[in-house]
Structure 1
Amino acid sequence: MSPDTAVNTGADYPSPRRAWGVTFLLTVVFVFSFVDRQILNLLVGPIQQDLDLNDTQVSLLQGFGFVATYVLLSIPIGRLVDTRRRISIIAFGVAFWSLATAACGLARSFTGLFVARAGVGVGEATLTPAAWSLLADYFPPHRRSLPFSVFLMGPYLGVGIAMIAGGLVMEGLAGQGPLTVPGVGALAPWQATFFVVAAPGIVLTAMLLLIREPARKGLKTGTTPVAVGYGDIVAWVRANHRVYVALLIGVPCIALVLYGLQAWIPTYLLRVHGMSLGEAGTQYGAIALIAGSLGVLSGPFVGRYLERRGHSDYQLRVCVMALALIGPGLAALAVAPSAGTALVCIAVVSYLVPLPLALVATALQSATPNQMRGVLVGAYVVTNNVIGLAFGPSMVALATDYLFRDPAAVGKSLALVGVIVSLVGIFLIGRALEPYRVLLEAHGVDH
């Protein structure tokens, strides 16, 4: 085979030092994307007071306001990821979402905040498709689980930092009253907090532009990547429909639980257990940071344990195991008699929710040919966020407002939604275990 037509099989993966350096930078970017995304959840009380919003309106800001643009752009951006320079795509996204986060601090109405949140969604839509594609080209298949686990710690570190640092910033600013900024006017403490969390995006954008793009694996050497037609992608998904229903609909049931928790646990701790905003932010932030990170990092080890015992479908099997335990954990939260018991329940669920996520990332890479990955990761981002972010906060809020009709019933709402959704996820993923094994046997673990 001549050099012009040889297929890049991955023997020339970047050095481990370079690959891990990029992994850690992408993880930091992911952390701050979630700080920018999640800080709103800590600021629900003062925002409701200043803008006169109810829980359902807040849930639209937490969910639909962000997710509408996020999901609409994920597949087109995934298409760009399959053919263009991925580092540049991420750098543009970081700059854009940082500006949009700062714009949240200028909002004076529901509409203004909704538009700014939509801008955050535009920028953050670039990150997951491009980062997953990059990591698959930095590490060979048998070494991907750990770097994906490290990267996927980002949301939990981000939520933890948003809750802890955001709570401290809010309490510090609240003691000073409104801040007057030249050219902007008076800013309430919650508005100034948005400016503080947006600032790191400037540094991260500059650092990203220093990274070299790795060679794409699975392409003929010396060729330019050409996007596969949408018809070919649809045909591939239809041929393996049970696997992709599990990955694109079943797995996002976990995201629905996750985003429901992140949106309403701080408010639950305030309303039901009488914590202050600073206490709720610090305690839930610490739980999200520690339990969430441990969950992500534990996933590959649980997966290897199952793999050594002959379960080639271990990535999806861990999803089923996690969902089977999440429901009882949330049911216990609904009847927790004290703040201490509630925090234990929250810690258990916060560990279980991210347990399978790194394995899902590797499963999607293993099941999908290289030149379809950007689009199908984009599709995963779409369904994960439509199901998770658009419906998670809103389903909990609707249950609280219209089913229980009691703001203090938010814990019951979390439990009801979580149990139902967990059962749906178990069904959809469970029926894909055998087809996934067959797909791996037919096509190997990488393309």
Structure 2
Amino acid sequence: MAGVATAPAQSAAPRRPGVVLAALTFVYVLNFLDRQLIGIVAKPIQDSLGVTDGQLGLIGGLYFAMFYCFIAIPVGWFADRTSRVGVLSLACAIWSGATVACGLAANYTQLVIARMTVGFGEAGGVPPSYAIITDTFPPGRRAAAFGIFNLGPALGAAVGVAFGALIAERFGWRMPFIVIGAVGIVTALLLRLFLREPARGATDAAMGAATGAATGAIPAEKARFWSTVRMFFAHPVLMLAALGSGATQFVTYGLGNFAVLFLMREKGMVLHEIAVWYALVIAIGMGGGMIVSGRVIDRMTRRSRAGYAIAPAASLAVAMPFYLGFVYVPGWPLALALLLVVMVFNYVYLSAAVALVQDEVRPDQRVLAGALLLLVMNFIGLGLGPTWVGFASDAFRAAGDGHALRTALYTLTPFYLVAIALFVALARRLAREARA
């Protein structure tokens, strides 16, 4: 921690913003890949360790989120005061080592402990990256940058499905954890050696100079922890963005952690088909949606900040009927075609929410504000979504439902409506503030 606590000299104007963004996106790919491996190799894990759907939901949901969500808060506060690059590299080393430990787990208890440690490490991954990107790209380019950065989940899930499923089929479910964890440890070292720390508020100050405004002024005293926390939870715009994102993630994580198991159990797919076709759906659908949504949001918000909320509300309204179709139709080819549309529109909220929160707070509050956003939306979505689906599936099976997992996935539908309502309320709030 001594190496992290001493921030290196900050670069006021990043020379190669594209290189910075590519490096952070690659780390996010590893972050999400490690997180998703449990769901990708769920069937082999169940066969090997005798894990139920409910236990699987706890590993991928509540147990992971307990550390991932709450540790992110002190980590965010610490990173706001020290080197964000140092915190990010240390976090990457921790979660990667814990991923290796997942592959070495001999029973369910050991797997739970290893997963909790992955969550502990990953808590320091995304919030520092949000702040580094914000201090590298000026307003008007940030949503597009976040759209590229948020390719991390799409690429991580796609690579995880393709790599994890193929390797698990040939060498067993443990090997993907060991190999990917080792790659992450090497990446953590390279990140610390070569990524430079940008100056806090550099791009805001540049924008303020160009416009004659005081944007980006950084107070002499660092933001206090509890004052930032109180500000976040008392701020209607920030809370509506966080709650809307959480309701959306309840669907995306609830589906994502059980999608491979559902496709194998209900749609008749096998691991090598998953490795090709489901991976393509994730890469094209989620990845394409992330890139397009970032650019669309940048265009919309130049006219009105309400675009930060209108875009996710409209996209979720489009996605919901396709989601119901995906769960209902027999056979995996048509199901995957419908899921492709779902993937395109399900993730528009992410770039919008992140860019809005980063724009809404001071430069010295950005890492902690990003961590608080992740706390709310991930505790609701990541913590409770997979847990809900797993226990619902076990309950429906105990009641004699022959398609228990399918019925459990149907119960996610109301959360689409909740998320849409919250984003509509946010759009109205932003429009009122603009008029005022």
Amino acid in structure 1 at the alignment position of 2:243: I
Matched, 1:28 2:11: no
**1:206: Cα distance to partner?**
2.0
8 Å Cα contact 1:42-1:281 kept in structure 2:
no
Match of 1:206 among 174, 186, 189: 189
Partner of 1:146: 144
Whether contact under 8 Å (1:61, 1:117) holds in the other structure is yes
Contact 1:255 1:388 in 2 (8 A): yes
How many residues were matched structurally? 412
Residue 190 to residue 306, structure 1, CA distance change in 2 (3 Å): same
* Aligned residues of 1:98 and 1:120 also touching (Cα < 8 A): yes
1:215 aligns with 2:210: no
1:366 equivalenced with 2:359 (yes/no): yes
Partner residue, 1:261: 255
Greater percentage in helix = 2
- Deviation of 1:194 after TM superposition, in Å, equals 1.3
- For 1:423, the equivalent position in structure 2 comes to 417
Give the alignment partner of residue 411 of structure 1, picking from 406, 415, 430: 406
Asked if the contact 1:167–1:282 (Cα under 8 Å) also holds between the matched residues in 2, the reply is no
Partners of 1:69 and 1:122 within 8 A in 2: yes
Partner in structure 2 of residue 193 of structure 1: 176
Change in 2 beyond 3 A, CA 1:235/1:355: closer
- For residues 79-118 of structure 1, give each alpha carbon's deviation from its aligned partner in whole angstroms, at most 9, with x where no partner exists: 0121110000000001101110011111111110000000
Change (3 A) 1:232 1:282: closer
Deviations 1:363-405 (A, max 9, x none): 1112222222222211111112111111111222222221464
Q: 394-403 or 299-308, which moves further after superposition?
A: 299-308
Question: How far apart, CA to CA, are the structure 2 residues paired with 1:440 and 1:23?
Answer: 31
Higher mean C-alpha deviation, range 246-255 or range 429-438 = 429-438
Distance 1:154 1:318, change over 3 A: same
Q: Using a 3 Å threshold, how does the CA distance of structure 1 residues 52 and 293 change in structure 2: closer, same or farther?
A: same
- CA deviation after TM superposition for structure 1 residue 154, in Å: 0.3
Q: Is 1:249–1:384's contact at 8 Å kept on the other side of the alignment?
A: yes
Q: Does structure 2 conserve the Cα–Cα contact (< 8 Å) formed by 1:73 and 1:125? A: yes
Q: Structure 2: 5+ residue runs without aligned partners?
A: 1-10, 206-215
- Trace 1:386-397 onto structure 2 (pairs within 5 A): 386-397=379-390
**Deviation for aligned residue 1:440:** 5.8
Change (3 A) 1:302 1:154: same
Give the one of 294, 303, 306 matched to 1:300: 294
Contact 1:42–1:277 (8 Å) recurs in 2: no
284 and 156 in structure 1: CA distance in 2 versus 1, 3 angstrom threshold: same
Distance 1:31 1:224, change over 3 A: farther
**Structure 2 vs 1, CA of residues 206 and 367 (structure 1 numbering), >3 Å: closer, same or farther?**
same
- What secondary structure, in the 3-state scheme, does the structure 1 residue paired with 2:374 have? helix
Asked whether the 8 Å contact 1:367–1:440 carries over to 2, the reply is no
1:245-256 maps to which residues of 2 (within 5 A)? 245-256=239-250
Q: In terms of mean alpha carbon deviation, does 111-120 or 208-217 score higher?
A: 208-217
Per-residue CA shift, 1:222-269, capped at 9, x if unaligned? 98761335235414642x32x122112111212121112211111111
Q: What is residue 384 of structure 1 aligned with on the other side? A: 377
Percentage of matched positions with identical amino acids: 29
Q: Pick from 143, 164, 174: which aligns with 2:162?
A: 164
- Provide the rounded CA distance (Å) in 2 between the counterparts of 1:48 and 1:151: 33
